Structure 1
Amino acid sequence: MPSLLRKPFRRSTTLIGVVTAAGLLVTACSGNDSGMSGMDHGTSGAPVSGQDMPGMAMPAGDGLAAESAGFRFAPETTSLPAGQPSAFRFRITGAGGAAVTAFQPEQTKLMHFYLIRTDLSGFQHLHPVMAADGTWTADLAAAQPGTYRAYTQFTTKDSAGKDVPLVLSRQVTVPGDAPGTPLPAASAMTTVDGYTLTLGGDKLMAGMSHELTVTVSKDGKPVTDLQPYLDTYAHLTGFHAGDQAFAHLHPHGKAEGDHGGPALKFEATLPKAGDWRLFVQFQTGGVLHTAAVTLAVG
């Protein structure tokens, strides 16, 4: 089987549940953490295949525009304070610059907000709260100096009442000097909070649909107690190393019960070749974990 990464993928004898031919859907979802996510299982804990989650429309574009389809991402500021938590406020405006106040839930949330530095570090995924006037507030954790991009992912309706799923973004800065973080090399494995996540499947090619699997283990044993998070057993978001293009990885099916895992299945379609930084978020014991891994796309 072709490798998912640059180097041949070797099975680990210490990791149980490495899947050989599986699937992982690459489209991007959001939350308030860092890590890898975007996987889903049925009530038996086995991967659910065949259908994406209901109500999860695919946004058009790469998420790098501030305006699309007549809607605009309008933040109150494009600068954040360094080294301290802050409240980032913004609106989504429509025709005539009026604030949009009607949104459709996507994975249980009306708005997904992401923040990431240009070196693909400092990832944050939050679900802002909207005031009656259409102003959203995202409570950000402290950010280190550098240039960032803020993304809003949402679904609203156009004048004809048709759903419009969008990802809009703007560049924001955090003043000060800070060294960049080198992008970790592509790998088939990553760890977070004692959990090991292993990628399996064919090597991904840009613009083509492939199967990818994320398998979760701990202490060499398969994990089968993943809890629902945003109606799935994991949430997966990707960012392109070249230009920060955004991809939301949609899982198949819907989570039911606290017994997801160990293999999480997706169908991956990443639009551009090069390195992608994937953030996987999953929940166990009421704690949300965020893992990150670099994936090479041919």
Structure 2
Amino acid sequence: MFFSSRLTTHRRALATAGTAVALALTAVSCGSSDDSASMSGMEHMATDKGLSDAQDGYRLTSSQRSLAAGRQADYRFTVTGPDGKPVTGFAVDQTKRMHFYAIRSDLTGFQHIHPAMAADGTWSAGLAALTPGEWRMFASFTPNSGDGKGKDFVLSRSVTAPGRATRTPLPAAATSTRVDGYTVTVKGEPMAGMAHPLTVSVAKDGEPVTDLQPYLDTYAHLTAFHEGDAAFAHLHPTTKLNGNHGGPDLSFHAELPTAGNWRLFLQFRTGGTLHTAALTLRVG
């Protein structure tokens, strides 16, 4: 009887241990799946930030690691595909085949350029004078053939402008700013990693502006950069064009991947002149 009781107890212990192991393995398996999904999401989010020079076999290449400060300069670069060859076929996005951005590490000196491409696939972006410091060059494009056909890419590389660099503190978060006599107001409280509508209103002398002209097939172009790492985000416009009668309210689809301060650059055109307004938006 004693032996039988011990045997029964032993079998129950083994069964319990087996169940525990099975549950542990199941948990690990589920955890691995979740971790993989999380890693996949993180990698996707990282590439969405545009802080890498390569994604899905496409690479932004350039021999220029520095550009002279204080004078205009050309930044030359190439986009290579998964086969290692320069890509020469690009889809048109907002009237351009390539959108190129330059931003200093302290989020000053914003430049948005539409470079020209040579027959061999080499792009040349004519930059206005850079101030000394670290800069990041972003190329935003969509291949119209190959493995990446129809997919939006944002790739970037860092560049140094030699000289004594003075860091400019980021202005505090605000809901409005002024540029060239216009007041630009941003309405909306986006949350990190979530799609959220954002409304931008333009006024002059206290009166709503209704004469915004088309710029890049919309009434305003809105780009954002994250404080600290200069991560990139393009906020897509949803307001439809109606001739030269844009404003005062413009709608955007905002999906900012990271919490913190983002520096917004709004570009809009009136009377044939392009204006660039900048303000800091706090994202929770």
Please give the range of the TM-score, normalised by the shorter of the 2 chains.
Answer: 0.7 to 0.9
Which amino acid letter does the alignment assign opposite residue 262 of structure 1? P
CA distance in 2, matches of 1:231, 1:157: 19
CA distance in 2, matches of 1:179, 1:287: 30
Give SS of 1:163's match.
coil
CA distance in 2, matches of 1:278, 1:253: 18
Does structure 2 conserve the Cα–Cα contact (< 8 Å) formed by 1:242 and 1:274? Answer: no
Aligned position for 2:85 = 98
Aligned position for 1:215 = 201
CA distance in 2, matches of 1:119, 1:176: 15
Does 2:113 align with 1:126?
A: yes
Does structure 1 conserve the Cα–Cα contact (< 8 Å) formed by 2:89 and 2:145? Answer: no
CA distance in 2, matches of 1:64, 1:90: 16
User: Which of residues 24, 32, 51 in structure 2 aligns to 1:64?
Assistant: 51
Aligned position for 2:22 = none
Give SS of 1:275's match.
strand
Q: Deviations over 1:179-219 (max 9, x none)?
A: 11000000001010000001113x22111122221110000
Does 2:163 align with 1:179?
A: no
Does 2:94 align with 1:107?
A: yes
Aligned position for 1:34 = none
Does 2:238 align with 1:252?
A: yes
Does structure 1 conserve the Cα–Cα contact (< 8 Å) formed by 2:105 and 2:228? Answer: no
Aligned position for 1:140 = 127
Does structure 2 conserve the Cα–Cα contact (< 8 Å) formed by 1:231 and 1:254? Answer: no
Aligned-residue CA RMSD (Å): 1.4
Aligned position for 1:263 = 249
Give SS of 1:288's match.
strand
Structure 1 residue 164: deviation in Å?
A: 2.1
Which amino acid letter does the alignment assign opposite residue 167 of structure 2? G
Aligned position for 2:179 = 192
Does structure 1 conserve the Cα–Cα contact (< 8 Å) formed by 2:47 and 2:55? Answer: no
Q: Deviations over 1:45-81 (max 9, x none)?
A: xxxxxxxxxxxxxx95210010001110011312110
Aligned residue runs from structure 1 range 1-298, under 5 A: 61-157=48-144, 159-160=146-147, 162-201=149-188, 203-298=189-284
CA distance in 1, matches of 2:215, 2:118: 24
Gaps of 5+ in 2: 1-45
Give SS of 1:291's match.
strand
Q: Deviations over 1:221-260 (max 9, x none)?
A: 0000000000000000000002111000100144230000
Give SS of 2:237's match.
coil
Does structure 2 conserve the Cα–Cα contact (< 8 Å) formed by 1:281 and 1:289? Answer: yes
Greater C-alpha radius of gyration? 2
Aligned position for 1:40 = none
Gaps of 5+ in 1: 1-58
Q: Judging changes above 3 Å, is the alpha-carbon distance between structure 1 residues 98 and 252 closer, same or farther for their aligned structure 2 residues?
A: same
Does structure 1 conserve the Cα–Cα contact (< 8 Å) formed by 2:56 and 2:82? Answer: no
CA distance in 2, matches of 1:63, 1:261: 30
Aligned residues: 239
Aligned position for 2:24 = none
Which amino acid letter does the alignment assign opposite residue 143 of structure 1? L
Q: Which runs of 4+ in 1 moved over 6 A?
A: none
CA distance in 1, matches of 2:278, 2:147: 40
Does structure 2 conserve the Cα–Cα contact (< 8 Å) formed by 1:83 and 1:143? Answer: yes
Give SS of 1:207's match.
coil
Q: Taking structure 1 as the reference length, what is the TM-score of the superposition? A: 0.78
CA distance in 2, matches of 1:220, 1:72: 47
CA distance in 1, matches of 2:198, 2:110: 22
Structure 1 residue 160: deviation in Å?
A: 4.9
CA distance in 1, matches of 2:242, 2:93: 17
